[in-house]
Amino acid sequence: MSSAKFGGKGPRWRHELVLSGPSLRDGDPVAECERALAQAGWSREAIDPLALLIAELWHNALEHGVLGLDSALKERPGGYSEYYVLREQLLRGVTEGRVRILLEQVLVHGEPALAIEIEDSGAGFDAVEPRAPLPAGKSARKSGRGLHLVRELCESLEFSGRGNVARATCRWEGPLAG
């Protein structure tokens, strides 16, 4: 983790974490990001929703990017259980792959915000053709709900690279605001 004075365009605070091989299976990057935010002075009130966003993006990168799991499996009868059994099998055998998590405090329209960028070593996906939005109310669909939640809680969510880099920008008051 490094921190720097804000000088206009760069971040005020930055934390980067890279997990590869067995650390993808054994690491707890969400807890580490929570600790980094707390050490930087973020309030528990701000950390809780940010941790939810980090967790959702981390699990997407791990499950779909590194492990190559397809969420469509969850739509079949019994598919939800099958998905998580397969996830655990693949995770036990993971020896390659990489996920990079970058947290940085930035300015958006002159206001402090936190950018959460997660990049995985997977093949990516077509970010130009996103899934249809979820209908209002409770959805029967068992996949796609996580990114919908991320979009609801963030100022913006963008994908780049080959669809393997997600960057969410959230306006929560941080320690360096104002």
Q: Is the pLDDT of residue 134 over 50?
A: no
Express as a percent the part of the chain with pLDDT over 70.
79
> Average pLDDT in the 9-31 region?
87
Residue 88: per-residue pLDDT: 94
Residue 123: pLDDT band (50, 70, 90) is confident
Q: Higher confidence at residue 148 or residue 9?
A: 148
Mean pLDDT of the chain: 81
* Alpha-carbon distances, residue 43 vs 21, 136, 153 (angstroms): 32, 32, 17
Q: Is the pLDDT of residue 132 over 60?
A: no
> Average pLDDT in the 47-62 region?
93
**Cα gap 160→128, rounded to integer Å:** 10
Q: Is the pLDDT of residue 48 over 50?
A: yes
- Locate the domains of the chain by residue range: 2-170
Name the region of 28 (left: φ>0; alpha: ψ -120 to 50; beta: rest): beta
The pTM for the full model equals 0.81
Q: Which CATH fold topology does 2-170 show?
A: Heat Shock Protein 90 (3.30.565)
> HSE (CB half, 13 Å, CA atoms) of 11?
18
Residue 31: per-residue pLDDT: 97
> Average pLDDT in the 140-169 region?
81
